């Protein structure tokens, strides 16, 4: 190997081309007409200092640049009588509510001249409020939701499907066409299905009820993008109510989570966050958190003990916990006498037994049988009425997977005449998207959405929906608890 290295910039330099070498040595082979440019042969003898020269040069360049820029004309009309609450340049804050079918929070919105620019938690109201610290909790999804308001991809008017694809239409055309089709299908006895996400708004439910009064064939089905049917069906089987319970993590000395990312996306995450945070004070009574999961999550990253488990083995963790606690409390094991606990599962089970009535077991598995075992564990530990509340339950996650699956079958069978969708994208999120798409092609379909998404692009009509920051609504996140948007 050569002891010296020679660097080259191009092929001519590598081959040492004589013409290239000569051209590089004489880069500027023509004399510059400096006298002609300056226009004064005595310029070199001027008494102007270097600093003054640079000042003049900078001013000249700046003036030429500004002269080339056309300043936009902004016309403004002053207030004849200025509203007391509006001062140009000074931000205003308004209270509202965020709900998108998954996340919920009472929020404060910062506006400048009527334009929302920032969202944060409301410290004075809502289930996402920590009353001891007067702090409102929101997550990154809620905080960034203001960006969607200014998304130029949002639809500005209804769109109708024709022979050439989707084309713009007016609201009058949409009302006329959709109303006529609903009347025809109702007269023919065909089903009219309103497919939405979980509806927690009393006013929206009243509007759907009004539609049912107008057309007797209307049926309302709820579909959640992230399904909790296993949990809610298990509660109906165990307690007779198909509800998602409320959890009070401030009372839980031991938290065992099996694949439930309750600090990020599982359950009422904004409520769980402040409750969990209150018990993570190193100078106070800290809780003990065990997390069993297949992938790293926000909850797992904050756990005292995180145990990585294969997805296929997560139900075995629940069975192991159940059987160990059942033997200690006089219950009936479901795995027989051969249930094996690893060291981490045994520690979690013993910690739960040591905190009866002051613990909680959460599970993110969407399997009814597994969730029934979780209910049994919490019942044996005496957690209901303490850390788990079925009376003041949340109204979230009411989607019904079985009803959606039956709807897809009926659509493909031709018994559904019209499908009206709002706030859902089942062509993307349904368990069997292809079956849904084939059934949708056999129905008259309308999508109320802000975007031409996977579902809307297949519908006969897409009607733009308002962003939550430009609309009014009401919500009931828990029985007896109401908020406005």
Q: What is the pLDDT of residues 26-39, one digit of tens each?
A: 655 666 555 555 55
Output the pLDDT for position 70.
Answer: 62
How far apart (Å, rounded) are the C-alpha atoms in residues 173 and 460? Answer: 13
**Looking at the domain 243-391, which fold is it?**
Dimethylsulfoxide Reductase; domain 2 (3.40.228)
Please give the DSSP secondary-structure letter assigned to residue 124: T
Question: Looking at the predicted structure, is the pLDDT value of residue 46 above 80?
Answer: no
Output the pLDDT for position 40.
Answer: 57
Question: Looking at the predicted structure, is the pLDDT value of residue 42 above 60?
Answer: no
Q: What is the pLDDT of residues 336-349, one digit of tens each?
A: 655 667 889 999 99
* CATH numeric code, 159-226+399-466: 3.40.50.740
Q: Where are the beta strands (DSSP E) in 149-304?
A: 159-162, 165-168, 191-196, 218-222, 244-247, 254-258, 288-293
CB 278 within 8 A of CB 317: no
Mean pLDDT of 281-286: 83
For residue 184, which of 455, 418, 378, 394 has the smallest C-alpha distance? 418
What's CA 134's distance to the chain center, in Å? 25
pTM of this prediction exceeds 0.85: no
Output the pLDDT for position 36.
Answer: 57
373 contacts: CB under 8 Å, gap ≥ 6:
318, 319, 322, 334
Question: Looking at the predicted structure, is the pLDDT value of residue 319 above 60?
Answer: yes
CB atoms within 10 A of CB 118: 14
Q: What is the pLDDT of residues 329-387, one digit of tens each?
A: 988 888 765 566 788 999 999 999 999 999 999 999 999 999 999 999 999 999 999 99
Mean pLDDT of 218-224: 95
Output the pLDDT for position 162.
Answer: 87
> Hey, where are the domains in the chain?
92-149, 159-226+399-466, 243-391
CB atoms within 10 A of CB 337: 7
Output the pLDDT for position 447.
Answer: 95
For residue 359, which of 228, 257, 277 has the smallest C-alpha distance? 257
Question: Beta strand pairing status for 444-448 and 461-463?
Answer: parallel
């Amino acid at each position: 190997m050569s002891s010296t290295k020679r660097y080259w910039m191009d092929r001519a330099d590598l081959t040492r081309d004589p013409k290239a070498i000569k051209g590089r040595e004489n880069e500027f082979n023509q004399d510059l007409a400096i006298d002609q440019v300056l226009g004064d042969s005595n310029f070199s003898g001027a008494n102007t200092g270097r600093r003054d020269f640079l000042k003049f040069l900078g001013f000249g360049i700046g003036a030429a640049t500004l002269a080339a820029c056309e300043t936009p004309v902004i016309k403004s009309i002053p207030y004849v009588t200025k509203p007391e609450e509006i001062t140009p340049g000074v931000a205003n804050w308004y209270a509202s509510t965020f709900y998108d079918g998954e996340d919920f929070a009472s929020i404060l919105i910062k506006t400048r001249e009527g334009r929302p620019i920032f969202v944060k938690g409301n410290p004075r109201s809502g289930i996402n409020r920590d009353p001891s610290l007067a702090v409102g909790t929101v997550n990154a999804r809620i905080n960034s939701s203001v960006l969607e308001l200014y998304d130029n991809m949002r639809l500005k008017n209804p769109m109708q499907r024709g022979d050439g694809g989707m084309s713009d239409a007016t609201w009058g055309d949409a009302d006329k066409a959709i109303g006529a089709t609903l009347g025809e299908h109702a007269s023919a006895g065909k089903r009219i299905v309103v497919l939405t996400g979980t509806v927690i708004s009393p006013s929206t439910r009243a509007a759907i009820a009004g539609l049912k009064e107008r057309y007797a064939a209307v049926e309302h089905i709820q579909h959640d993008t992230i399904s909790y049917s296993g949990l809610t069906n298990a509660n109906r089987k165990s307690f007779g109510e198909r509800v998602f319970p409320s959890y009070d993590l401030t009372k839980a000395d031991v938290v065992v989570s099996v694949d439930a990312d309750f600090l990020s996306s599982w359950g009422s995450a904004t409520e769980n966050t402040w409750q969990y945070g209150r018990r993570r004070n190193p100078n106070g009574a800290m809780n003990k958190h065990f997390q069993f999961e297949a992938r790293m999550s926000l909850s797992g990253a904050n756990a005292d003990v995180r145990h990585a488990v294969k997805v296929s083995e997560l139900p075995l963790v629940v069975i192991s916990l159940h059987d160990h606690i059942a033997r200690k409390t006089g219950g009936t094991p479901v795995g027989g006498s051969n249930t094996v606990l690893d060291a981490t599962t045994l520690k979690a089970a013993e910690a739960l037994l040591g905190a009866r009535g002051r613990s909680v077991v959460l599970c993110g598995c969407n399997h009814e049988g597994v969730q029934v075992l979780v209910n049994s564990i919490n019942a044996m530990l005496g957690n209901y009425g303490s850390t788990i509340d079925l009376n003041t339950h949340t109204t979230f996650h009411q989607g019904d997977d079985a009803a959606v699956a039956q709807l897809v079958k009926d659509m493909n069978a031709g018994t559904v005449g019209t499908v009206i969708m709002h706030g859902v994208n089942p062509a993307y999120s349904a368990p069997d998207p292809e079956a849904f798409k084939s059934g949708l092609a056999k129905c008259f379909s309308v999508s109320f959405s802000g975007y031409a998404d996977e579902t809307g692009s297949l519908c006969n009509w897409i009607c733009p929906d308002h962003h939550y920051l430009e609309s009014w609504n009401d919500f009931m996140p828990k029985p007896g608890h109401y908020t406005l948007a």
